[in-house]
Chain A
Amino acid sequence: MLPACVRSICKKSIPANKALGLIARNGSGHTVGETQFETQPFKLHKLDEGPSTHVTLTRDEALNMYTQMHTIRRMETSAGNLYKEKIVRGFCHLYSGQEAVAVGIKHALRPHDAVITAYRAHGWTHIMGVPPFEVLSELTGRRTGCARGKGGSMHMYCKNFYGGNGIVGAQVPLGVGIALAAQYKGTDGVCVTLYGDGAANQGQVFEVYNMAKLWDVPCIFVCENNGYGMGTSSVRSSASTDYYTRGDYVPGIWVDGMDVLAVRQAARLAVNYCASGKGPIVIEVQTYRYSGHSMSDPGTSYRTREEVQEVRQTRDPITSFKEKIISHNLVTADEIKEIDAKIRTEVDEATKKAKAEKEIGIDELPADIYANNLEGDIRGVSIFQPLKHKRIGPAVNV
């Protein structure tokens, strides 16, 4: 699922001279093996040194990042349509506009690093290793979903990806626990713990800033600031909107979340920082969501259509990245067209296949409530005859 994109950034650096200047003939134009970019400056909180604004990007990485971001966008469009067709149960929160966050961070992670997020989870699920078909199947409650259809939109999981959590801010303490487990096991792994600007005001976030710093837990707190906590803008909900400073004694970085390369830079620094035993760090990623908070929110009663249009036209993370890599000859316009067509086919087929799939049997209504249900039957289940509790499949977390 994820080809060579997963690099160990602490131990290995990409040999810069190897690909530099290499010119490959590809379709209609010439491409280079790698090139350099400048990102916007970062803002720092209690950090002596920030990430470099000078970025080297290889052609393979460019292709990979573009493919991943575009796949998420396409998948979310499909998810929105499925919801409108009333095929999706549970609520449905789309990631469109925020793709650069997941993709940028993922490109800084090592295979043994963990991620936990809230309910806007489709993009992250895919990036962490679940193919679109399994994401869309989960969304539509089919047996081929990554949680067998039992979780739905907000609850998707895979190895090292701890979900998919439904309650605002509730995943943040879990992330610190996951990071502590890595520290205890001595793996040098980190846990990326994501929450939104809305959740940043939950008391439990502050409880675990303290715990994480107290014990120097390798937790990267990532505040995905998309400007709106449900229907309330960040300025109207937060006394300080400098989310990267809100850990007080926890150092922080602000990064432009519409630039996948800048996100990767910040995440690389954070992984290094945490993995070297310096304790937690906060990254505020300034991003934007195009859709409403969920599908039942048109997303226009607390912001203007013009605002959304303006971001789409001037700051879209995919369009801007595409222009950048084409103009620097990392990829050609034709290659992009090919990728787009391939993704369209893949997601459309996955959608069709997911819709045609079956749901799990009713016998699984009382399944997996406990490891061992002491009573056999689950009380209150009466589909005209009692159903037995059972366990399905092995856990992937341990």
Chain B
Amino acid sequence: MASSRLRTQFFSDVIFNRGIFLSEVQLRRYSSHFVYTADSEKTTSNGTKSKMNMFQAINNALDIILKSDSKAIIFGEDVGFGGVFRCTLDLQKRYGKHRVFNTPLCEQGIIGFGIGAAVAGSTAIAEIQFADYIFPAFDQLVNEAAKYRYRSGNLFDCGKLTIRTPCGAVGHGGLYHSQSPEAYFAHTPGLKVVVPRGPIKAKGLLLGCIRDPDPCLILEPKVLYRAAVEQVPEADFQLPLGKADILIEGTDITLIGWGTQVHVLKEVATVLKDSYKVTAEVIDLVTILPWDVTTICKSVCKTGRVLVAHEAPMTSGFGAEIAATIQENCFLNLHAPVARVTGADTPFPCIFEPFYLPTKWRCLEEALKLLDY
């Protein structure tokens, strides 16, 4: 456990680092608040692997679907020439304009159109250019897509609809290119919501989502498109929805995140281990809806301490749901209250991104508080 001596050391580290950090912020925009670490995810695919970043892995998954499913269509703003993040690069060339096509700038229309195409049997894969732009389509997702099966007594559904959209902080995105809207959709029974942490995960989850019989929303942390590089199996494989991944095993504290935040938490676990001799268990929740209560609660019962971190604001962020479920299921196993380290309850700031995000240092400080509780 952490002693007060170690906490003193922590603050000197932070102050030292912040000193450098602030002077950089003054001059230039901040590019990245984490260090990416590649995955050791095991997949069912034993075939050849090749080096791909996340946008290439997504492109590869979409290529597999277009090749294997003649009913698959891909549409969205600018997807024809590859999309702003290059995820659909060359797909129009390979599969034609009737299968990969640009839409006008009309998000509500894109999703509504996708629901219609899916309910009539197409494998509809829609792209919303940034998650921040998804709100004109909020009605279609919440009131039409999510409820189609239920309200028709299972006669109709739009399970063949998958929506891909880039989310999260990217260093300089400002108010409308940085948001993480997962919690809005987590409140919508009928949808499935996933967030990949890297290329292997993105490919496997995307293929899983497309083939899942319910409408799925895949929120892709845009900062990982190029930053995350892994050896990705070239063949077709799927990863399960609704299943969390334990990335680092530990016994003293559970750290829960998803998307980019997983990499921040892995760094925190390393510092805890190296500097404080504390072993942290790092869990990637992977699926926001439906989420893996069993894996989380098992871990918390083992460690007795838990920290949830996400980029979205604190109030009604998805961490709130996790905290409430943990206290209900693990109350007598808890040695400290459930901690949340999140974005602030402010709009995503233009110039204060480094101070808004749940950085390594903020997570570490909170983890040490839990350990000292």
Identify the A interface with B (CB < 8 A): 85-91, 141, 149-155, 166-170, 198-199, 201-204, 229-232, 236-238, 296-297, 301-302, 358-360, 362, 364-366, 369, 378-384
| Contact residues in B for A202 (Cβ distance below 8 Å) | 105-106, 136
B273 to chain A, nearest CB (A): 23
Selected A-B contacts with CB under 8 Å, 25 pairs: A85-B28, A87-B27, A89-B172, A89-B173, A90-B172, A91-B174, A166-B174, A201-B109, A202-B136, A230-B77, A232-B80, A232-B102, A236-B102, A237-B103, A237-B105, A296-B84, A302-B81, A362-B355, A364-B352, A365-B349, A378-B346, A379-B313, A380-B344, A382-B344, A384-B362
- Once A152-B174, A203-B106, A204-B136 are accepted as A-B contacts, the answer to whether A365 and B344 lie under 8 Å apart by CB is yes
Q: Give Cα A86 to B24, complex, Å.
A: 12
| Contacting pair A87 B350 (CB below 8 A) | no
Beta-carbon contacts under 8 Å, B174-223 to A:
174-177
Which residues of the other chain, A, contact B353 by a CB distance below 8 angstroms? 89
Pairwise interchain contact A150-B349, C-beta atoms closer than 8 A: yes
Check B350–A231 contact: CB distance below 8 A: no
Kindly state whether residue B356 has any CB partner on chain A within 8 Å: yes
B346-362 residues at the A interface, CB under 8 angstroms:
346-347, 349-353, 355-356, 362
A199 to B107, CA, bound (A): 11
Contact of A166 among B25, B105, B176 (CB under 8 A): B176
CB of A238 within 8 A of CB of B350, answer no
A380 touches B314 (CB 8 A): yes
Choose from B78, B172, B344 the contact partner of A381 (Cβ within 8 Å).
Answer: B344
Q: When the two chains form the complex, which single residue of A169, A198, A230, A379 contacts B315, counting CB atoms closer than 8 Å?
A: A379
B104 contacts partner chain A, Cβ-Cβ < 8 Å: yes
Pick the residue among B176, B313, B344 that contacts A167 (CB under 8 A).
B176
**Is B342 part of the binding interface, using a Cβ–Cβ cutoff of 8 Å?**
yes
Complex Cα spacing A229 to B103, Å: 10
Interface positions of B (Cβ within 8 A of A): 14, 25-29, 31, 77-78, 80-82, 84, 102-106, 108-109, 129, 132-133, 135-136, 172-177, 313-315, 340-347, 349-353, 355-356, 362, 365-366
- A89 and B174 contact, CB distance less than 8 A: yes
- Kindly list chain A residues whose C-beta atoms are within 8 Å of the C-beta of B14: 384
Q: Closest Cβ of chain A: how far from B348's Cβ, in Å?
A: 10
Among A154, A232, A302, contact of B176 (Cβ-Cβ < 8 Å): A154
A34 to chain B, nearest CB (A): 43
Chain B residues positioned under 8 Å from A89 (CB to CB): 29, 172-174, 350-351, 353
A168 contacts B314, C-beta separation under 8 Å: no
Contact A201 B106 (CB under 8 A): yes
Residues from chain B with Cβ under 8 Å of A362 in the complex: 352, 355
Residues of A within 8 A of B352 (CB): 362, 364-365
B78 adjacent to A365 (CB under 8 Å): no
A151 touching B350, Cβ below 8 Å: yes
Is B176 within 8 A of A168, CB to CB? no
Shortest distance in angstroms between A140's beta carbon and chain B's nearest beta carbon?
Answer: 9
For residue A289, give the distance in angstroms from its CB to the closest CB of chain B.
15
Give A203 to B353 CA distance when docked, in angstroms: 32
Q: What chain A residues lie within 8 Å of B105 (beta carbons)?
A: 168-169, 198-199, 201-202, 229-230, 237
B63 shortest CB reach to chain A, Å:
20
Whole-angstrom distance between the Cβ of B118 and the nearest chain A Cβ: 20
Q: What A residues does B344 contact at CB under 8 A?
A: 365-366, 378-382
Q: B152: shortest Cβ distance to chain A, in Å?
A: 25
With a CB–CB cut-off of 8 A, which chain B residues contact A369? 345-347
**Among B14, B77, B173: residue with most chain A CB under 10 A:** B77
Q: Are A87 and B29 in contact (CB under 8 A)?
A: yes
Contact B341 A201, beta carbon cutoff 8 Å:
no
Known: A141-B351, A167-B132, A358-B26. A378 touches B345 (CB 8 A): yes
Q: Which among A169, A359, A381 is the interface contact of B351 at CB below 8 angstroms?
A: A359
B313 — which chain A residues lie within 8 A by C-beta?
379-380
Question: Is B104 a contact of A166 with CB atoms below 8 Å?
Answer: no
In the complex, are the beta carbons of B177 and A90 less than 8 A apart?
A: yes
- Chain B residue at minimum C-beta to C-beta distance from A147: B350
Residues of A close to B103: CB separation below 8 A: 237
Give which listed residue, B26, B173, B314, B355, contacts A90 with CB less than 8 A.
Answer: B173
A230–B136 Cα gap in the complex (Å)? 18
Partner of B341 from the list A167, A198, A297, A382 (CB cut-off 8 Å) is: A382
CA distance A145 to B108 in the complex (A): 34
Question: What separation, in Å, do the CA atoms of A231 and B127 have in the docked complex?
Answer: 14
Give the distance to chain A from B4, nearest Cβ to Cβ, in Å. 16
- In the docked arrangement, what's the CA distance between A68 and B246, Å? 60
A169 to B133, CA, bound (A): 11
Q: B239 → chain A, closest Cβ, in Å?
A: 30
Cβ contacts under 8 Å, B350 to chain A: 89-90, 141, 149-152, 155
Chain A residues with Cβ below 8 Å from B132 are 166-167
Q: How far is the CB of B164 from chain A (nearest CB, A)?
A: 17
